[in-house]
Amino acid sequence: MSDVYAARRGTLRDRCAAAGNAAALITRPANVRYLSGASPLGAVLLVGPTEDVMFCVNAPTGEVDEGRLDEHLKVSLLTSTGGDPAVAAGDLAAAVRADSLAVEEHHLTVARHRALRSVAPKLRLSDLGNAVEQQRLVKDEEEIACLRIAAEIADQALGELLESILVGRTERHLALELERRLVDHGADGPAFPTSVGTGPHSGRARHRPSDRRVEEGDFLTVCLGAGYRGYRCEIGRTFVIGTTPADWQIQLYDLVFAAQRAGRQALVPGAAYRDVDRAARSILDSAGHGEALAPWTGHGVGLEIDEDPQLAPTAMGKLDACVPVTVEPGVHLPGRGGVRIDDTLVVRPEADGGPELLTITTKELLAL
Amino acid sequence: MSDVYAARRGTLRDRCAAAGNAAALITRPANVRYLSGASPLGAVLLVGPTEDVMFCVNAPTGEVDEGRLDEHLKVSLLTSTGGDPAVAAGDLAAAVRADSLAVEEHHLTVARHRALRSVAPKLRLSDLGNAVEQQRLVKDEEEIACLRIAAEIADQALGELLESILVGRTERHLALELERRLVDHGADGPAFPTSVGTGPHSGRARHRPSDRRVEEGDFLTVCLGAGYRGYRCEIGRTFVIGTTPADWQIQLYDLVFAAQRAGRQALVPGAAYRDVDRAARSILDSAGHGEALAPWTGHGVGLEIDEDPQLAPTAMGKLDACVPVTVEPGVHLPGRGGVRIDDTLVVRPEADGGPELLTITTKELLAL
């Protein structure tokens, strides 16, 4: 795996050199991990003209959550306790050995930027922008394998929950139980805070679980994800509690299902992000739900649960093969509840069978 | 409660005015919450010369994790999806209605700072520094009451765990069970990732739970905390598994206990931060463990689990009454394990009975 990280840093080095920068300072944790295998708390990565150095507050321990560091990478322990940006900046500036340094302006704080400028006034600082994020967009098969395992774990946790009694239990308890099951099945941890919404809370995006209990006749929306070796997937399903769904529930479910299917089918290499969004959105829009929709119907996943691309009406760009994304339209009717259906898929050419569905739990409307 | 938030903003407004700034932009989430009662994801707070405005990506929902927003505060929904700092900066700049704005340079990113400068070139930007963090240092009785409840919850969760069978269970399972119990007892959630270390992992600060199972003869170190209405406490204890502790275990435990007691006893109003640290540290140092100690032996708690003051050899400043801090010395012997003992206390004058211990679980060496 070390070769992978060295190769990724090599690509970044070439991009920097082409833009006239001899070195780059990577501070965003997911970017640090992508380029080095690990992101210990507070660690930053210097990609230099000849040598790369990770600056750590503590020695990296190689644990699950922070990843396993590329063993060929040089590590430098910061002597400061991390509180004083000027101290760390001094250590960094001494190691740059170049006259120009690109920094992640969308992540670096003004105070740290100022400290760097002050300890190294001759160093020309420029903006690296989203260079590493762009590099992370298309995944290699090893990354996709991690996502596939993460999705399997989430499917298992969800499947087990469905076999248990749900009526009378609170959203918070169901969410905690799901998170315990994720870890039982080998996840690093939840990929994001598990969302469980019942009755009037169902169908809401990123609903924080409350103390409301599951009741007969409720819609129940569950959205969860597992992290596996740093890679994060997402699955969301809506169920109905009790014997028979009401007519409005069946109609709303069928509508969201149709929108989600249209979104999935639009996932082909070369499709514009906004066209994938439109495929799903237009179906909900035509049915009169356009106003209340979330500003996106899907997004990329990887080392972060919400990364590029964004599948949204104003998004610019086109899908490539091997880009994993969610497709997750939903409708929420205030006071009544709603439906969300959310899958993680990998964009694949039609010759390879089209989009690869990672989250395989059924999307039939189950009455539990 | 609304009056409390308005009064806090008033204090900040006065400090800003004294420094020649008509307005302040608060971006650090804990600071936003302190001044407004809530910190919805992505929200920022503008404290203006006459009017304060919270800028939100979505309407605040008043849920547990994000707090309950001061109902008198004006809320402005950002039209952007949050991805483009320039759009949000435009909305903000239009609302400032002043010629100078203090920003939190230790939190604000270079990109957002640049966007603000570019949409409002005449606005003079300066550094607010840690003004709000300093304001948060001394807690009022309502804040301390929340910390007291958080500590009670953590004590309960820990107490229940001690009654169960521990041998054979993994660190990760014990940590998850503790977190479930925290929520069962009414916590918003864990105050920080629960740490469980067994055998050679015991005694390590912030150890991430692994798949190692508890064995007879192990030291077991548990460190957990609850969040309650946003306020976070911390407790850490070390136990021995099995019938009788070994001699080295008893000696090490007694040593860390003595250091922790010395730290607690040093908590008086007016004591220098570094003297509290030294009280605990010197005992471990004299016993030959100085080299391997963490750079701090305690820290403030509140809306964040790790806030000012830092109890460390180079820390500047003195304790005030009503400042809650942890006292948490520990010794870890590589390959063998170690001991940590961690309490949350509130500094109180001697006339009021001295430091108030919030985490009351026994500190005897229990053999489980």
Sequence spans of domains, chain B: 2-136, 141-357
Q: Are B127 and A107 an interchain contact pair (Cβ–Cβ within 8 Å)?
A: no
Interface test with A, best of B27, B31, B57, B109 (most A CBs within 10 A): B109
Q: Rounded distance, CA B9 to CA B11, Å?
A: 5
How close B354 comes to chain A (CA, Å)? 30
pLDDT tens-place string over residues B132-177: 999 999 999 999 999 999 999 999 999 999 999 899 999 988 998 9
pLDDT at A72: 84
Interface of A with B (CB under 8 A): 61, 63-66, 81, 83, 85, 103, 105-111, 113-114, 127, 172-173, 176, 179-180, 183, 208, 210, 295-296, 310, 312
Distance from the Cα of B81 to chain A's closest Cα (Å) equals 7
pLDDT digits (tens, 9 = 90+) for A305-335: 999 999 999 999 999 999 999 999 999 999 9
Share the mean pLDDT of chain B.
Answer: 92
Distance of residue A278 Cα from the nearest chain B Cα, in angstroms: 17
Cβ-nearest to A113 among B110, B179, B295: B110
Contact A310 B83 (CB under 8 A): yes
> Which chain B residues are within 8 Å of A312, Cβ to Cβ?
81
Per the CB < 8 A criterion, the answer to whether B38 and B303 are in contact is: no
Minimal C-alpha gap between A127 and chain B (Å): 9
Alpha helices in chain B (DSSP H): 2-18, 29-36, 85-96, 110-119, 131-136, 141-162, 171-184, 247-265, 273-284
Share the mean pLDDT of chain A: 91
pLDDT digits (tens, 9 = 90+) for B104-123: 999 999 999 999 999 888 89
**Cα A353 to Cα A172: distance, rounded to the nearest angstrom:** 39
Burial B255-268 (b: 16+ CB within 10 A, else e): bbbebbbbbbebbb
CATH superfamily of B2-136: Creatinase/prolidase N-terminal domain (3.40.350.10)
The secondary structure of residue A331, as a DSSP letter, is E
Structure confidence by residue, pLDDT tens digits, B209-233:
988 999 999 999 999 999 999 999 9
**Residues pairing with A307 in the sheet:** A300
Measure in Å the smallest separation between the Cα of A108 and chain B Cα atoms: 5
Distance from CA of A129 to the nearest CA of B (A): 9
Report CB contact under 8 Å: B109, A110.
Answer: yes
Judge: B111–A106 Cβ closer than 8 Å, yes or no: yes
Regarding predicted confidence, which is higher, A237 or B116? A237
Cβ contact A81–B296 (<8 Å): yes
pLDDT at A258 over 90: yes
- Is there a contact between A310 and B113 if contact means CB atoms under 8 Å apart? no
* A13 close to A44: Cβ distance less than 8 angstroms: no
Confidence band, pLDDT 50/70/90 cuts, at residue A85: low
Rounded CA-CA distance A19/A44 in Å is 21
pLDDT in tens, A98-149: 889 999 999 999 999 999 999 888 899 999 999 999 999 999 999 999 999 9
Task: With CA atoms as reference, report the closest residue to B306 among A141, A167, A81, A38.
Answer: A81
Q: Say which CATH class A2-135 falls into.
A: alpha beta
- Could you give the CA distance from residue A222 to residue A238 in angstroms, rounded to a whole number? 6
Between chains, do B85 and A108 touch, taking CB under 8 Å as contact? no
Higher pLDDT, A43 or A342: A342
A84-110 burial, b if ≥16 CB within 10 A, otherwise e?
A: ebebbbbbbbebbebebbbbbbbbbbb
Q: What is the mean pLDDT of residues B188-212?
A: 93
Q: Considering only CB atoms, which chain B residues are within 8 Å of A107?
A: 109
Chain B positions in Cβ-Cβ contact with residue A179 (cut-off 8 Å): 176
- Cβ(A110)–Cβ(B105) under 8 Å? yes
**pLDDT for residue A84 is more than 70:** no
| pLDDT band with cut points at 50, 70 and 90 for residue B82 | very low
Q: Any idea which fold A141-357 has?
A: Creatine Amidinohydrolase (3.90.230)
Cβ distance of A109 and B114 shorter than 8 Å: no
How large is the ipTM? 0.81
Query: CB distance A208–B65 less than 8 Å?
Result: yes
Sequence-distant contacts of B39-48: CB under 8 A, at least 24 apart: B39/B66, B39/B67, B40/B66, B40/B69, B41/B66, B42/B82, B44/B88, B44/B92, B46/B92, B46/B95, B46/B96, B47/B9, B47/B12, B47/B13, B47/B16, B47/B23, B48/B22, B48/B23, B48/B95, B48/B96, B48/B97, B48/B98
Q: Cβ contacts (< 8 Å) between B296 and chain A: which residues?
A: 81
| pLDDT score recorded for residue A82 | 45
